[in-house]
Structure 1
């Protein structure tokens, strides 16, 4: 009897050990950067191989936000509020970068699925040029009108007069953010997600080193305060962008930018802009709603804004890996539609959605039960802590809806259907979220709680509508 029990125990241990070894081997394969064909074979494996480097990439991207807010929080409420308000303004840059990256993903992934890497490389260059042109206009506005923008957002006189340099630097160097979006979309949509991950590792290592040096100073390096955080982030990201272009020029993955590709092709640029209008529109609608929410939050003072900002940065840290998983689903949708395998594309989305819902559901429980631990990692100011706890607890209630919604919307974008998510975002964030936030926070005097509850209601609305639309399957017929 005892011998049989020992045999079963050893067999069970052996199975667990073998499973761990298989997962580790898959992990190594995922981050190796080797070319992979995601239009055949096991869907879960394909999703895993794409998602792991994308998730790691998103984690490294979120480290930017976490590191900045950690060091800036040592400078006080106004410094944190400056970062938060600037982040809200910068969402316009993210919206354009997101839209162009969605268009790039749709076209590059489809060409890769069709086995046309040369055409994919041509699309990649046109996307880079389009993003660079858009960033010039944003830089001019940021350099000359940063104080006015902060004033419009309800910032106090200290922020406007003494800390506007942070906003000027971030907006003035927005081309760096734009190139990160587009170049990483090129790598991901070609199935070379590990390259995007490496770029973010480089950027984050530099940012972690430079942030405390430039914010607080050391030896001959003067203390630059909140402006030092902007400079550190721009340098870290800027060097990462240079690294991206080196990889594209060397042809380290499936996309290889050569001299013959460096030509303006207005037809391709027009196609990119046409596709990106939906992507830009949906993201501007979604992210500009955060500007509206921040404007409402400004009515409750710097401590409320600071607590909200810290909570949002923590939430972003968790949501970005989920966005990485949804990006993997978008790539699989694009490549499999290009390979004329719509059923495989749909199955990829449901697998990714299930994983995301479970992951974010568990994280939501942790945030709801232990919010103080996470907020106090950034500040011990109890006025800020209490606001941050309230934001983290309430917003985390809707995590299950966020998990499925982001996968469904990204899948539609990956198919080239950027119009539908635009409409859904408009309904959810402008017809639902902003009005509810205003009435709950101001009219019904719920204060900042009204803003937090409006976020949950909007995300629930978005996910439910997206679910029923996706089930109809019209996205499978989209041609790009």
Structure 2
């Protein structure tokens, strides 16, 4: 199919009905992410069959692996914001140049961070509270995962280019396919079959590496065929020019995302004081949170291109209306998700473990923490909206306040007063306070943009 025909099938972000356009962009993302996150849970499930120690080990890796993923997310946010604004203003030439530069930049930066990670596995995980018993399992997993991290960079940033152009269906297909490959290879590589030896926890990382490698080939082929990137590498001067623009938004965005695993590491350290069973339950709960927040995560990917293009076209009323629609939706949707998880908590816990202690703690997590997911959704969507409007420092400050003024301190106080249950309730209170602050902050910023636009038109 030609690039022109593909373009005609994309939603009209500048003129189409807002609710219809957001729905058309978000639904494919939800389908793709459900498949991807479900297969991520399958990953955790197969590792859990190896034993509680292996499940605890992979739970310790979440804050660290998310740090590398956060860099890709940040670069993708910067890429999407800049390309969306160029496309909104009709400058397709610069959009292609920035797309190429973003892919090159992601490869260089993620590669450097992966090398640093390989050199610091033991001290980092010891700092997180991992015991000597768990360290061999963590090493087996992370050595392969760091090498695979470079394969992750190109599909993640490349998907941001597609979304900036209005195509959310193809990134969903790529995500779902990658998750499917990973899920199919997991049991084969973890437990072995025929001539293939059992690799244990390391097999999960190898399966992930293969899935991401397929994604690299796929995304690069699509971007070149659709003329969304240049069919060559940039010169040093071109890379320097594009990198400056991308990093201006991408670095604060990446920093904001990297704060999440740092805070997660602190919370994991608190949880580790309650034993391996608590860490195992915490890891399962975090994976389930990704599934439970699927609509929020999908909207956080489909809303920014819409806002960027309309911001570039100076259609601020559409920005305001899109943000309000998204916030109302996530509050209603996530409350429904909480009710479902509350009712199914005993069955969900039993599906992940046969250890009564771990199952009890998983159920406790599900009875409390999901109540705050809708409020957390306000923060996530506000963050992505700030970045889409080229206000990365506002998004960064918002993240700092959320994690280190509210979430970590309140959760810590809750744990000191009421143990793990108090920690879980602390996260709900923190999300309530931060959700309110985020909403009013964005509304105030949008009012300023309206005032600036009015002055320009006079």
Query: Considering the TM-score relative to the shorter chain, is it more than 0.5?
Result: yes
**Residues in 2 aligned to 1:109 and 1:476: alpha-carbon distance in whole angstroms:** 18
Match of 2:157 among 172, 182, 185: 182
What is the aligned partner in structure 1 of residue 141 from structure 2?
166
Match of 1:447 among 395, 419, 436: 419
**Residues in 2 aligned to 1:149 and 1:281: alpha-carbon distance in whole angstroms:** 18
How has the CA–CA distance of structure 1 residues 385 and 337 changed in structure 2, closer, same or farther, with 3 Å as cutoff?
same
**Is the Cα–Cα contact under 8 Å of residues 104 and 272 in structure 1 kept in the other structure?**
yes
**Is the Cα–Cα contact under 8 Å of residues 425 and 462 in structure 1 kept in the other structure?**
no
**Is the Cα–Cα contact under 8 Å of residues 406 and 434 in structure 2 kept in the other structure?**
no
Match of 2:228 among 250, 255, 258: 255
Instruction: Give 1:283-432 correspondences, 5 Å limit.
Output: 283-432=257-406
Residue deviations 1:388-415, cap 9 Å, x none? 1111111111123123332222111111
Residue deviations 1:282-315, cap 9 Å, x none? 1122331111101111111111011111111111
**Residues in 2 aligned to 1:209 and 1:47: alpha-carbon distance in whole angstroms:** 32
**Residues in 2 aligned to 1:244 and 1:434: alpha-carbon distance in whole angstroms:** 37
How many pairs align?
A: 445
Unaligned runs of 5+ in 1: 1-30
* CA displacement at 1:418 relative to structure 2: 1.3
* CA displacement at 1:180 relative to structure 2: 2.8
How has the CA–CA distance of structure 1 residues 208 and 56 changed in structure 2, closer, same or farther, with 3 Å as cutoff?
same
Match of 1:202 among 177, 183, 195: 177
What is the aligned partner in structure 2 of residue 214 from structure 1?
189
Match of 2:36 among 61, 66, 87: 61
**Residues in 1 aligned to 2:137 and 2:71: alpha-carbon distance in whole angstroms:** 29
SS of the equivalent of 1:397 reads helix
Residue deviations 1:68-126, cap 9 Å, x none? 11111101111111111111111211221121111111101111111222211111111
SS of the equivalent of 2:133 reads helix
**Is the Cα–Cα contact under 8 Å of residues 285 and 422 in structure 1 kept in the other structure?**
no
* CA displacement at 1:32 relative to structure 2: 11
How has the CA–CA distance of structure 1 residues 300 and 123 changed in structure 2, closer, same or farther, with 3 Å as cutoff?
same
What's the C-alpha RMSD, in Å, of the aligned pairs? Answer: 2.1
Matched, 1:457 2:429: yes
What is the aligned partner in structure 2 of residue 438 from structure 1?
412
Higher mean C-alpha deviation, range 89-98 or range 216-225: 89-98
**Residues in 1 aligned to 2:339 and 2:159: alpha-carbon distance in whole angstroms:** 32
How has the CA–CA distance of structure 1 residues 143 and 468 changed in structure 2, closer, same or farther, with 3 Å as cutoff?
same
* CA displacement at 1:40 relative to structure 2: 0.4
Matched, 1:469 2:441: yes
Residue deviations 1:334-370, cap 9 Å, x none? 0111122110111111112222211111001111232
**Residues in 2 aligned to 1:32 and 1:374: alpha-carbon distance in whole angstroms:** 42
* CA displacement at 1:127 relative to structure 2: 0.9
**Is the Cα–Cα contact under 8 Å of residues 148 and 208 in structure 2 kept in the other structure?**
no
Unaligned runs of 5+ in 2: 1-5, 454-458
How has the CA–CA distance of structure 1 residues 429 and 196 changed in structure 2, closer, same or farther, with 3 Å as cutoff?
same
Match of 1:245 among 220, 235, 243: 220
* CA displacement at 1:193 relative to structure 2: 1.1
**Residues in 2 aligned to 1:260 and 1:290: alpha-carbon distance in whole angstroms:** 37
What is the aligned partner in structure 1 of residue 91 from structure 2?
116
How has the CA–CA distance of structure 1 residues 328 and 245 changed in structure 2, closer, same or farther, with 3 Å as cutoff?
same
What is the aligned partner in structure 2 of residue 132 from structure 1?
107
* CA displacement at 1:57 relative to structure 2: 2.6
**Is the Cα–Cα contact under 8 Å of residues 300 and 380 in structure 2 kept in the other structure?**
yes
What is the aligned partner in structure 1 of residue 456 from structure 2?
none
